[in-house]
Amino acid sequence: MKWAVVVDSSSDMACMKQEIEEAANGNVLFESVALKLEAGEVEFTDDETLDVDEMISYLKSYSGKSGSASPSPQEWYDAFEQADNVIAITITSELSGSYRSACAAKDMIQEDYPDKNIFVLDSKSTGPEMVLLARKAVSFALEDISFDEMQQKMLKYQKRTHLIFALENMDNLIKNGRVNKLEAGVAALLGIKILARASVQGTLEIMKKARGKTKVYDKMLEEMLDYGYIGGHVVISHCNNEAMAGYLRLKILEKYPDSQVDIIRTRGLCSFYAEEKGVLVGYERIEA
């Protein structure tokens, strides 16, 4: 295979392999490499077989220590081995070791296969922004561009993609040191929804807090518009919150009727951190 696009499972794309490869007419290989969620002695592998609802139900009743584990370099290696040219897209390196693991796999495989070309892209994000990046990589691969062109185009496109999200519960982010404990904890205690985004550095940045059923989603769209969204592709992922994901989609389409807005469900990793009712939005801004 000439091209492969490989993501880790924080992208929520573990179940999209067949869909993407069929859309590419078999000309691009697509793989998702699984992270793992650990709750005491129980481990959930974030692949296409994971029963996300069962995992969420178990975690609700579990009060012990929990966390996530990156794919091993060997798992990345096995995916890289399948194509001559590979673009790998990982969750932000600020919050996970997945990027470092993928880079280690790149070094390993290029010792064994010196002619392989591998580009590991740190998304500085997760979830739906990674969907945008992966789909764009597939479309570029179908243009039959060179490996160097692929790297340049992806880095340019990445500057236009962003992630914003609204959360009702931040317990797992707090427990795992991903956000400021005091700020997030007070908001949760008062029943306030949190609006946050992935910063340029790839950290989670709390922006605003809001009460009310839809107010935080209205603010989400306002922030998107202020940050340069003028129509274009949007991916909304949600953890058992289809109603609010649908509400936001309608609001976007009211503003920009010709925009493409897809709704997907969070898989394991994003469900673990976004928790019940979390909504994440990846979107494109004005071209730089």
Q: Is 261 helix (H, G, I), strand (E, B) or coil?
A: strand
Distance, CA of 94 to CA of 81 (rounded, Å): 26
Amino acid 1: pLDDT: 67
Amino acid 169: pLDDT: 79
Q: Where are the domains of the chain?
A: 3-158, 161-284
**38, 98, 176 from 66: Cα distances, Å:** 5, 18, 8
Class (C level, CATH) for 161-284: alpha beta
pLDDT tens-place string over residues 159-218: 999 999 999 877 777 676 555 554 555 445 445 688 889 999 998 888 877 766 788 999
Q: Is 189 helix (H, G, I), strand (E, B) or coil?
A: helix
DSSP track, 163-187: EEEEES--HHHHHTTSS-HHHHHHH
Distance, CA of 110 to CA of 156 (rounded, Å): 25
User: Please, which residues have CB within 8 angstroms of residue 202's CB and are 6 or more apart in sequence?
Assistant: 92, 93, 94, 95, 122, 123, 124, 125
Q: 124: pLDDT confidence band, cut at 50, 70 and 90?
A: very high
Amino acid 90: pLDDT: 98
Q: 279: pLDDT confidence band, cut at 50, 70 and 90?
A: very high
Q: What percent of the chain has pLDDT over 70?
A: 92
Amino acid 187: pLDDT: 45
pLDDT tens-place string over residues 218-267: 999 999 999 999 999 999 999 999 999 999 999 999 999 999 999 999 99
Q: Structurally, what CATH architecture does the domain formed by 3-158 represent?
A: 3-Layer(aba) Sandwich (3.40)
